Amino acid sequence: MKSPFLALAAFCAMLAVCLGAFGAHGLKHIISPEMLAVYKTGVTYHMWHALGLAFIAHYHAQQKSTLLNFAGWLMFCGIILFSGSLYLLALLSIRWLGMITPFGGLCFIAAWLLFGIFAIKQAKTPDQSH
Domain assignment of residue 51, yes or no: yes
State residue 1's pLDDT score. Answer: 55
Domains in the chain, number: 1
Rg (CA), the chain: 17
Residues 6+ apart with CB under 8 A from 68: 56, 59, 60, 114, 115, 118
Domain assignment of residue 128, yes or no: no
CA 14 to chain centre: 12
Domain assignment of residue 52, yes or no: yes
Domain assignment of residue 55, yes or no: yes
Enclosing domain of residue 26:
5-122
Domain assignment of residue 129, yes or no: no
State residue 112's pLDDT score. Answer: 98
Q: b vs e for 66-102, b when ≥16 Cβ sit within 10 Å of the residue's Cβ? A: ebbbbbbbbbbbbbebbbbbbbbbbbeeeeebeebbe
Long-range contacts of range 96-105, CB-CB < 8 Å, 24 or more positions apart? 104/77, 104/78, 104/79, 104/80, 105/78
State residue 130's pLDDT score. Answer: 46
Domain assignment of residue 71, yes or no: yes
Domain assignment of residue 130, yes or no: no
Mean pLDDT by 10 residues, the chain (130 residues): 89 98 93 95 98 96 94 98 97 92 98 97 74
pTM: 0.91
